[in-house]
Structure 1
Amino acid sequence: MTGSQAPKPITGRKVLAMLIAFFGVVIGVNLVMMRFAIQTLPGTEVDSAYSASLAYEKQITAARDQNARNWKVDAHVERSGQGGATLQIEARDSSGRPISGLKFHGRFERPTDRRADLPVPLAEVGIGIYRGSALAIAPGQWDLVLEGASAGQRLFLSKNRVLLN
């Protein structure tokens, strides 16, 4: 006869230990995933939906005024070798003359994470030509937001998706 042992019976303690281990792993993984989800939450698009709805009529009026001006604003983004980018804007009025004296603001916004938004200060370097640089900007999809103002009043707003390599 060979000395083979009979299998050990499954006791109540073994079943309890297996159940506790199984649910401990499931709960532990859920807690870790929940923590990662909360840490990477980019936040809301607007802080107060009520305030945004009150300002909506003003935005519609500003958009109609901007369309009536019929300005042509061209933006060009050029990547540098060190991971930065140069933003150049050329602004022309409805008759094609350069628009000078505006205060332009540029901003690269990450569509998925507001915390990565990057303002680009723009200065007028020629008649109707505005330029600014971002020292370090990650590759990927960005929303390029351009705002032009004069005497504290916004006259131009544009938001376009760009892909930076």
Structure 2
Amino acid sequence: MTASAPGARPITGRCVLIVILVFFSVVIGANLVMMRFAITTLPGTEVDSAYSASLAYQREIIAARQQNERNWQVRVHIHRQSDGRAVLAIEARDRAGAPLAGMGFVARLERPVDRRADRTIDVSEAHAGTYRGSAEGVAVGQWDLVIEGDADGRRMFLSKNRIVLN
């Protein structure tokens, strides 16, 4: 004969069913929450089609060789102000040191971890060979600064550098 504690209830099939249902409900609920966080914070793919990216790769190699042959000297300075505004200055010169006037520069600040935070910098020519621009709402941290220079509708210059803005 076994002694049972006074007031203790015996384990029944109904009690076991309830415990199992509650356990799996908690596990499934946690999985659904984690899936939602993963899907909403995923920045997306780098390229939509790996095949089309591989076809463009040869053109990028040729463009990089042509850019190296031009031997341009492009100096860039960027800093973030306390109000979140990033100020960019580009100084572009050809191989002889003459200012490159009339270029169409486009600059982007790209977040390495989240494409949704990317910022475009409006760049305009201040005077011959000097270009300036700014972007609002730039957060502190690591960024990729991408600069493209176009002339006559053709990309003549491309630079991508990892920077830290404070």
TM-score band, normalised by the shorter chain? Answer: over 0.9
Q: Deviations over 1:103-143 (max 9, x none)?
A: 00000011111121111110010221110011211111110
Distance (whole Å) between structure 2 residues aligned to residue 59 and residue 137 of structure 1 = 29
Shift in Å, 1:96: 2.1
Which residue of structure 2 aligns with residue 89 of structure 1?
Answer: 90
Which sections of structure 1, spanning at least 5 residues, go unmatched? Answer: none
Distance (whole Å) between structure 1 residues aligned to residue 143 and residue 126 of structure 2 = 25
Shift in Å, 1:6: 4.7
Distance (whole Å) between structure 2 residues aligned to residue 142 and residue 81 of structure 1 = 17
Shift in Å, 1:89: 0.7
CA contact (8 A) 2:80 2:138 kept: no
Aligned length: 162
Q: Alignment RMSD, CA only?
A: 1.2
Shift in Å, 1:72: 1.5
Distance (whole Å) between structure 1 residues aligned to residue 40 and residue 58 of structure 2 = 35
Shift in Å, 1:97: 2.1
For normalisation by structure 2, the TM-score amounts to 0.93
Which residue of structure 2 aligns with residue 28 of structure 1?
Answer: 29
Which residue of structure 1 aligns with residue 150 of structure 2?
Answer: 149
Distance (whole Å) between structure 2 residues aligned to residue 163 and residue 125 of structure 1 = 25
Which sections of structure 2, spanning at least 5 residues, go unmatched? Answer: none
Which residue of structure 2 aligns with residue 162 of structure 1?
Answer: 163
Which residue of structure 2 aligns with residue 16 of structure 1?
Answer: 17
Off by >4 Å, runs of 4+ in structure 1: none
Tell me, yes or no, if structure 1 residue 105 matches structure 2 residue 143: no
Distance (whole Å) between structure 2 residues aligned to residue 114 and residue 76 of structure 1 = 23
Distance (whole Å) between structure 2 residues aligned to residue 107 and residue 67 of structure 1 = 22
Shift in Å, 1:22: 0.8
Distance (whole Å) between structure 2 residues aligned to residue 78 and residue 112 of structure 1 = 20
Distance (whole Å) between structure 1 residues aligned to residue 15 and residue 47 of structure 2 = 53
Partner SS, residue 42 of structure 1: coil
